[in-house]
């Protein structure tokens, strides 16, 4: 139905705003269905880069599922790197990295951390608090690979400081040993 509406828009005058809404809804539908190939083809058919950017950002802001968020963040950074403000670019890159870290977690546990996908450092801290040490090891390795040469608001040094902080807390004992009296 979306494709039929798109063809209709080529044949008859349809307000631009309606075409933008149609394409946004079509893109969200394709992403929810997991059809990234058709989603990419849809984005490539949009001739006006400004409209393509707006549609992609609007879809990302609606917080679609993990795979869709990852796809959109990757698409936006790859195609609109120079068109985005530094703050927005950092936000999108953080979401990309956070979604990549989420994909390293066991599938059934991803839902528990999805709300932190745009804040990878906080996700890492939550994993540490929840004592998911094995998951933290994989997440840290992934973060180190992804952060090589990128600036997204935090660095490898921030990750190391966070790990040091929690390692120090793990070694503190909350009680003192009592001496035995004879």
- The pLDDT value recorded for residue 175 is 64
- The pLDDT value recorded for residue 31 is 92
Any domain includes 151: yes
Residue 17, domain extent:
1-84
- The pLDDT value recorded for residue 72 is 93
Task: Identify whether residues 76 and 12 lie together within a single domain.
Answer: yes
- Pick the last residue of a domain from 84, 106, 137: 84
Any domain includes 117: yes
> Over the chain, what is the mean pLDDT?
85
Task: Identify whether residues 63 and 98 lie together within a single domain.
Answer: no
Alpha helices in the chain (DSSP H): 2-11, 16-33, 36-45, 49-61, 66-79, 86-104, 110-113, 120-129, 133-147, 156-171
- The pLDDT value recorded for residue 2 is 76
Residue 155 CA to residue 160 CA, distance in Å, equals: 9
Any domain includes 12: yes
Please say whether the beta carbons of 76 and 84 come within 8 A.
yes
Task: Identify whether residues 72 and 91 lie together within a single domain.
Answer: no
Sequence-ordered list of residues with C-beta below 8 angstroms from that of 75, at least 6 positions apart, any chain = 40, 43, 56
Is the confidence at residue 182, as pLDDT, over 60?
A: no
Task: Identify whether residues 92 and 155 lie together within a single domain.
Answer: yes
Task: Identify whether residues 161 and 91 lie together within a single domain.
Answer: yes
pTM, rounded to two decimals: 0.76
Number of domains in the chain: 2
Sequence-ordered list of residues with C-beta below 8 angstroms from that of 152, at least 6 positions apart, any chain = 90, 93, 94, 97
- Segment 149-157 shows an average pLDDT of 73
- Segment 132-158 shows an average pLDDT of 82
Task: Identify whether residues 4 and 80 lie together within a single domain.
Answer: yes
Show the tokens assigned to 121.
């450092």
Task: Identify whether residues 98 and 74 lie together within a single domain.
Answer: no
Any domain includes 140: yes
- The pLDDT value recorded for residue 154 is 77
- Segment 118-141 shows an average pLDDT of 89
Any domain includes 56: yes
Show the tokens assigned to 105.
């977690």
- Segment 104-108 shows an average pLDDT of 89
CA distances from 140 to 36, 64, 108, 114, 154 (A): 27, 25, 20, 17, 13
Task: Identify whether residues 49 and 104 lie together within a single domain.
Answer: no
């Amino acid at each position: 139905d979306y494709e039929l509406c798109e063809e209709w828009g080529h044949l008859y005058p349809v307000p631009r705003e309606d075409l933008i809404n149609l394409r946004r809804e079509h893109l969200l539908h394709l992403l929810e269905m997991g059809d990234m190939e058709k989603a990419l083809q849809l984005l490539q058919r949009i001739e006006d880069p400004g409209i393509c950017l707006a549609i992609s950002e609007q879809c990302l802001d609606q917080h679609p599922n993990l795979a869709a968020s990852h796809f959109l963040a990757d698409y936006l950074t790859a195609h609109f790197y120079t068109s985005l403000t530094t703050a927005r670019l950092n936000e999108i890159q953080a979401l990309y990295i956070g979604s990549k870290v989420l994909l390293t977690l066991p599938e059934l546990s991803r839902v528990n951390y999805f709300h932190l996908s745009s804040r990878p450092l906080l996700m890492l801290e939550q994993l540490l608090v929840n004592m998911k040490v094995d998951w933290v090891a994989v997440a840290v390795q992934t973060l180190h690979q992804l952060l090589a040469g990128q600036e997204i608001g935090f660095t490898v040094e921030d990750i190391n400081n966070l790990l040091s902080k929690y390692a120090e807390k793990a070694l503190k004992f909350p009680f003192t040993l009592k001496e035995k009296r004879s």
